[in-house]
Structure 1
Amino acid sequence: MRAILVILIAIVVFSCKETQVNSVSMKEDVAILANDSLNGRKTGSDGERKAADYIAKRFEDLGLQPKRLEGFFQKFTYKASKNPHQEAEFTAENNESTKTGQNVIAFLDNKAENTVVIGAHYDHLGMGGEGSLYREGKAIHNGADDNASGVAMMLHLADSLQKKGSPKNNNYLFIAFSGEEEGLLGSNYFVKNPTIDTKKVTYMLNMDMVGRLNSENTLAVYGVGTSPIFKQAVNANARELKIAENESGVGPSDHTSFYLANIPVLHFFTGQHEDYHKPSDDAEKVNFEGMKIVSNYIFSIIKDLDNQPKLPFKKTKNESEVVPEFKVTLGVVPDYLFSGKGMRIDGVSEDKPAQKAGLQKGDIVVKMGDFEVTDMMSYMKSLSKFEKGQTAKVTIERGGELKEVEVTF
């Protein structure tokens, strides 16, 4: 299988012949971008550059145009910060202390007044290190869901938006961002160095981790409050999807850079999982039928908004500013798509307080000590009340019944 994929990459990326790959499926795109031969697509690495070449070739074969760039590429050089609480710094220097990433950008010109930006980051964690949740040494982090899935969906939408009957009242700028895992570098750089007039951008759509649609068909949509037009479009087109709304335009992905430039944004996300930032995030675990559902949903939103004039922007509450500080951890992965009462556990970490107390995936935490847990924010506020070494009674719902366990933090 690996040999076949390497050959396919070579044919698509490096062939001098005219190769038409319009019929490439999202499954094939994910398989190529998440293949071991790209070594996890670390920003500035050879693997990321090969991925960029592949995406540029896909753009070209889809009939899209560069937009005043070096081909389809927008390169940027930066100094990585040694302080995890400090942002990387863009620089004109190019030496051993700097790295170079590159956004891959293509334009669909419908001769319209305004433009919709559709983006997804294509970089990942390489062999692990900073940001990885894998603790057993170096290993290739292929990032099939994070975020080969988003890039594949962006390419699928690029194809769909050129077909007969597709919406034509806006232009479309497609951006595969570099450096997202390093701190939203590519999107930040683009917004500060745009290749189009950003005052003519009506809204931005971002897809990050859209490859694991669950059995409940729950899709998180962030940024719903960034324009008064969004809420109706997001819900009216849901069909079989269950939408978990979030108003805020600020979050840990590239839509944030556009929101901070006063551009309405929507971010699509199928949820956290136990393979997040681990070598096990591979293509065989991606729900490709689910990806089709999500892609069709996003296309419907685009179509629904096509007759709108430039969308008005609205500031939203920055929920990250009110997140409390923690001295302890429960050692679970929350289910961010859960919309019921409490905090549902989507994964349990090895040798952490939750596992030692017997908590399981699917348990719903409804009370911690004296503190009621009704949602994610109340869970975080409750957790912030405990000290290391403290023991508390935690009430969970399991199989429709309440159960009380003791947790030592």
Structure 2
Amino acid sequence: MKRFLCYALLLLWGGVIYSQTEITTNELKEHIAFLTSEANAGRYPGGAKNKKIVRYIQQAFKDAGALPLKKSYKQSFKAQLRTEKEVVDKPIAKTWNVIAIIPGNDPELKDEYVVLGAHYDHLGLGGPSSKSDKKNTIHYGADDNASGTAALLEIGEKLVSQKSLLKRSVLLVAFGAEEQGLLGSKNFVEHPPVPLSQIKLMINMDMVGRLNDGKQVYMGGAGTFPNGVELMKNLGEQCELNPVVHAGSVGGSDHVSFYKKGISVLGIHTGGHPQYHTPEDTLELINLEGERLVCEYIYRTILKIATTSYKMHFIPQD
């Protein structure tokens, strides 16, 4: 108790920001609640609402102590938005990826990177990607992908608290316009802020908020780096999860953009559900404790790769 009080006084008197050392359901819930709020109207690319979400993510990175990679956390790009097939002139929106770095400490390995990513956008009021017959209705996207964005912020914060252990550097990336065709991740790999050859693994979180009663976590791409399948199974068991691990099955989200550039990937999710791409994908259905367990699993994965000299090279999959 005395130790805790001393720590609290240091925070109050010293004005120093310390990264949180634990991933909590309360903070996961707070992040998802903000992202899925009525005011954010489904997180569609472009406009004032998109800017507000980007500012929120930037501030979360800053508060955690994750640094901008260059002078800014933002990587801007223009997204051609999906419309009904009969629309000829597709609208263009300016949007952003949000990027932060937690630098490694090893003289050589610090120039190698693990990318942890999640897309923050969703469908707005529906549009051609909606699975619902409800027109002009907010699609909240709590699982897809407020859950992944919240996980990114929480895992990033915990990684900062352990930054002295890192040999390799970690990039935290919140991708924009994934729902428009993986546009944020495509822009990242076409205009990479670090050499692609130095990115040793990309872990993507897309829909990680609906862990089932069997505690099954699904992933593709574990065979794209040495002993990946065994590693992910073993770490899953340590976290009391039941990982369903595929060596290949690389597809469906932002990690695909990296895989196509010859970069090892893991695409992690907790499975599909009837609320996918409908207005019913809401916070009330998120398994917050389950998501916390998934975050711990991913955190331990990053520690294994980034705090050791784990041999990494790309292994293509059929």
Query: TM range, normalised to the smaller chain?
Result: 0.7 to 0.9
Query: Is residue 26 of structure 1 aligned with residue 24 of structure 2?
Result: no
* Matched letter for residue 73 of structure 1: K
Q: 1:120 to 1:81 in 2, by over 3 A?
A: closer
The percent identity for this pair of structures is: 36
Q: Which amino acid aligns with 1:198?
A: L
Q: CA RMSD in A?
A: 2.2
| Map of 1:345 onto structure 2 | none
Closer, same or farther in 2 for the Cα pair 1:63/1:264, shift >3 Å?
Answer: same
Partner of 1:314: 315
Runs of 4+ in 1 over 6 A off after TM superposition: 18-21
* Separation (CA, whole Å) in 1 of partners of 2:228 and 2:45: 33
Cα distance in 2 for residues equivalent to 1:310 and 1:203: 11
Is structure 2 residue 275 aligned with structure 1 residue 297? no
- Secondary structure of the structure 2 residue equivalent to 1:126: coil
Q: Structure 1: how far apart are the matches of 2:98 and 2:18?
A: 18
Q: Any idea what the Cα deviations from partners look like across 1:180-227, whole Å, max 9, x if unmatched?
A: 000000000000101112211111110000000001101101111111
Give, as a single letter, the amino acid of the residue that structure 2 aligns with 1:291: E
Per the alignment, residue 79 of structure 1 pairs with 80
Distance 1:181 1:21 in 2: 34
Q: Answer whether contact 2:19 2:161 (CA < 8 A) is retained.
A: no
Q: Give 2:214's aligned residue.
A: 216
Structure 1: gaps of 5 or more residues: 1-17, 85-94, 318-409
Partner residue in 2 for 1:38: 40
The Cα shift of 1:270 comes to 0.3
The CA deviation at 1:252 is 1.0
List per-residue Cα deviations over 1:295-353 (Å, max 9, x = no partner): 11111222222323451101111xxxxxxxxxxxxxxxxxxxxxxxxxxxxxxxxxxxx
Residue 102 (structure 1) aligns with: 96
Q: Which of the pair is proportionally richer in helix?
A: 2
Unaligned residue ranges in structure 2 (runs of 5+): 1-14, 21-25
State whether residues 117 and 172 of structure 2, in contact with CA within 8 Å, keep that contact through their aligned partners in structure 1. yes
Q: Distance in 1 between matches of 2:192 and 2:162?
A: 30
Secondary structure of the residue aligned to 1:25 is helix
Work out the CA distance in 2 between the residues paired with 1:50 and 1:170: 31
Does structure 1 retain, via aligned residues, the 8 Å contact 2:76–2:95? yes
Deviation track 1:260-281 (CA, whole Å, cap 9, x = no partner) reads 1111000110010111101111
Q: Which has the higher contact order (CA 8 A, sep 6+)?
A: 2
Match of 2:178 in 1: 180
- Give, in whole Å, the separation in 2 of the partners of 1:258 and 1:280: 31
3-state SS of the aligned residue for 1:99?
A: strand
* CA distance in structure 2 between the aligned counterparts of 1:60 and 1:223, rounded to whole angstroms: 31
In structure 2, what is the Cα distance between the partners aligned to 1:232 and 1:138?
Answer: 46
Q: 1:43 to 1:165 in 2, by over 3 A?
A: closer
Count of residues paired in the alignment: 289
1:270 aligned residue: 270
